[in-house]
Structure 1
Amino acid sequence: MSSQDIYHLRKQIESVDEEVLRLLERRVDLAKKVGEVKGDASVYDPSREMEIIERLCNLTKELDPKFVSLLFREIISFCRAVQKPIKVACMGPKGSFSHEAVVSFLGRFVDVVFVENPAEVFDHVSKEKAGIGVVPVENTTEGTVYSTLDAFATAEQSISVIGEGQLPIRLALASEEKTMADIEEVYSHPQPFGQCRNWLHKNLPWARQIPTSSTSYAAKIAKTKKKSAAICGRLAAELYGLNILDEGIEDHPYNATRFWLIGRAFARSSERCKTSILFNVAHKPGTLFQALEPLYKAGLNLTLIQSRPLPGNPFEYFFFVDFEGDVGEEKVKEALAAMRSRVERLRVLGSYPQIKFIK
């Protein structure tokens, strides 16, 4: 192929790029009009966004569906921001896995507010300092995040779960140094040290392990301290400009955290819908069985049941339950109505879609 042939091909690419740009501008303009029609209504509709991306992934014949998913996640994120900027609260600092979850579920065109704990996320949503909150609920290796459940138990009634997504937790060794041979100290949160124990013993047996408050704070230290490294996520490494010396260093290959997206309105029904409820029963034999029996009779699949101490009532508990189904379904309505007659208190925390994008 001659240089002249390459020149002509590049001119065609430039022409296609300009056409793509014009189409994107048209899409943004249409998104603005949709926003005007919506008025004060929420601009975030996770079910609709998943429908768009899944349809496009199924339509493509030449492109990698993962590329299509990532591309349109950001296009949708930008168009959403054009309609109405969204402020999202999550646990920080920047580069945390909660921050990574925000980017994964909502894209990069959101204003992120970093707070210390799940209770503060709920507080920001409650006081309308943020339109959406993202909180961890459960990890495959560490189990339930009790601080999130406790915060929900005391949150105001208007707050509900509007979406759920899973984030694979992939840990990386990141540093300003170029090789692992130069590393003398490794910083991270205690949990990742435990999750990478075998890898560290094999690859960095000489390095001192120094615990920090978070993986993202470890990345911040590694940025400024010579001969040091951090065990953190890819986002934290990118934000602090670190070299990734190795990735996927966790000892167990499947490590994921389930996150809830919370807001002040119920989510629209979808095919992949789950419902979360909170209830407590009288402190008598058989009351928990009686409370759950309507869900069993309705054929609803339970995906989580977790007890937590009931404040002010020693050795009594309230229960969180997740099950597959939507509160709009007749069998779910009937089951919840039967439950209400058997419990002391029942609150529906939300019926919401499970956000599943191609990773």
Structure 2
Amino acid sequence: MDEVRLRALRERIDELDEALAVLLERRAETAREIGAAKGDGPTYDPAREARILRNLQARHPDLDPEALGAVHREVISLCRGVQRHLSAACLGPEGSFSHAAALRALGHGTNLALQPDLPSVFRALEEGSAALGVVPVENTLEGTVLPTLDAFSRAAPEVRVLRELRLPVRHVLASREPALDRIREVHSHPQALAQCRLWLAGHLPGTPQIPEASTSGAAERAARTPGTACLCSREAAGLRGLTVLARDVQDHPHNATRFWVLGTGQAPEGNPRKTSLLFTVPHRPGTLLDALDPLREAGLNLTLIQSRPLPENPFEYFFCVDFQGPAEAPEAARALEAMEARCFRLRILGSYPVES
């Protein structure tokens, strides 16, 4: 080992770290000036933040794009915080996939309020205790997250979708026990149990599978209960001191969940790539087809259509639809105007950027 050269290189690293810190101070001060120039304008601008990350990744191809994105998301979060310290609500407990999605979307500079259920996320937005919310919408294997749509159908009209992001789902099997042969029960959220059914059948056949409200709640159960394992994220297992007995136990390697970042007030400007609608139609034959026909005539590509029961009208339904493109585009605007005339109720949930 060349101690002299190693010492010189470490001194250079120290100098570079100091230069980075000085640049961060300058960036934060500039962000503070931007906040003053915005006045009451929105602090959170997902389209611009995504554009900054894409441009950096394109200009610096020698750096790992995921790592560069993770680092710079935290830089943006830090600088966003000097403009206005944002709070956001998401489904807890700590270490849940919703918690991980919120950190990916907003960074550690945001004060995250962990909620016991999805309706509580919407209530936090409506009551003003949180400026933003993060909720799961759809999983590639298990489909639409129905409680999110149900909560949105009852939400105040100012609540809207600001952004979509997709989070890969990577489950581990974790326990306080040291080996699989000590496991007597497996706990997790029903979706996680379904997403790992083949692995469980092959490695823990006949072991009872117990549903929990969340994967991180299952990790808490496993931490205090002998003979119990959980399916959860690696982060949730680490937070509770569990031993990871197996990694990547999900049956499909491309499993992912898409999340919405929600907000109130004015939507930030940007380049929307998707629009979401909620609507109801008269309960007569052909009314759904009639309502959707303007979207077909406009050539808009639907990426989701989901029906949900109307609690106040048994065996009647509201519908949620996603289509590609912005609601403000001329062909989309004309289609929505025609569609509104054919619906009892039509609400644009948001027109927003999408991050893969």
TM value normalised by structure 1? 0.91
Equivalences for residues 57-96 of structure 1 within 5 A:
57-96=57-96
Deviates more, 1:207-216 or 1:166-175: 207-216
> 1:269-324 deviations in whole A, cap 9, x for unaligned?
44452111112222222222221111111111111111122343333222111111
How far does residue 228 in structure 1 lie from its aligned partner after superposition? 4.3
How far does residue 178 in structure 1 lie from its aligned partner after superposition? 5.1
1:8 counterpart residue number = 8
How far does residue 202 in structure 1 lie from its aligned partner after superposition? 3.2
Quote the Cα distance in structure 2 between the aligned partners of 1:80 and 1:111.
12
1:284 counterpart residue number = 284
1:142 counterpart residue number = 142
How far does residue 131 in structure 1 lie from its aligned partner after superposition? 0.6
1:37 counterpart residue number = 37
Secondary structure, counterpart of 2:193 in structure 1: helix
Deviates more, 1:52-61 or 1:304-313: 304-313
2:310 counterpart residue number = 310
Distance 1:57 1:308, change over 3 A: same
Secondary structure, counterpart of 2:314 in structure 1: coil
Q: 2:271–2:352: 8 Å Cα contact kept in structure 1?
A: no
Distance 1:294 1:103, change over 3 A: same
Query: Does 1:251 pair with 2:251?
Result: yes
How far does residue 227 in structure 1 lie from its aligned partner after superposition? 5.4
How far does residue 89 in structure 1 lie from its aligned partner after superposition? 1.0
Quote the Cα distance in structure 1 between the aligned partners of 2:140 and 2:275.
20
Q: 2:272–2:351: 8 Å Cα contact kept in structure 1?
A: no
Query: Does 1:121 pair with 2:121?
Result: yes
2:196 counterpart residue number = 196
How far does residue 210 in structure 1 lie from its aligned partner after superposition? 4.5
Quote the Cα distance in structure 2 between the aligned partners of 1:191 and 1:257.
11
Distance 1:181 1:307, change over 3 A: closer
How far does residue 351 in structure 1 lie from its aligned partner after superposition? 0.7
Deviates more, 1:226-235 or 1:122-131: 226-235
> What is the identity, as a one-letter code, of the residue corresponding to 1:248?
D
Q: 2:42–2:266: 8 Å Cα contact kept in structure 1?
A: no
Distance 1:213 1:280, change over 3 A: closer
Q: 2:44–2:268: 8 Å Cα contact kept in structure 1?
A: no
Quote the Cα distance in structure 2 between the aligned partners of 1:129 and 1:260.
18
> 1:178-203 deviations in whole A, cap 9, x for unaligned?
55455555432343233223323433
1:154 counterpart residue number = 154
> What is the identity, as a one-letter code, of the residue corresponding to 1:319?
F
Quote the Cα distance in structure 2 between the aligned partners of 1:237 and 1:254.
21
How far does residue 243 in structure 1 lie from its aligned partner after superposition? 3.6
Secondary structure, counterpart of 1:314 in structure 2: strand
How far does residue 18 in structure 1 lie from its aligned partner after superposition? 1.3
> What is the identity, as a one-letter code, of the residue corresponding to 1:85?
H
How far does residue 67 in structure 1 lie from its aligned partner after superposition? 1.2
Distance 1:36 1:213, change over 3 A: same
Distance 1:287 1:38, change over 3 A: same
Quote the Cα distance in structure 1 between the aligned partners of 2:278 and 2:210.
39
Query: Could you list the runs of 5+ residues in structure 1 that have no partner in the other structure?
Result: none
Equivalences for residues 272-351 of structure 1 within 5 A:
272-351=272-351
Query: Could you list the runs of 5+ residues in structure 2 that have no partner in the other structure?
Result: none
CA-based RMSD: 2.1
Q: 2:87–2:111: 8 Å Cα contact kept in structure 1?
A: yes
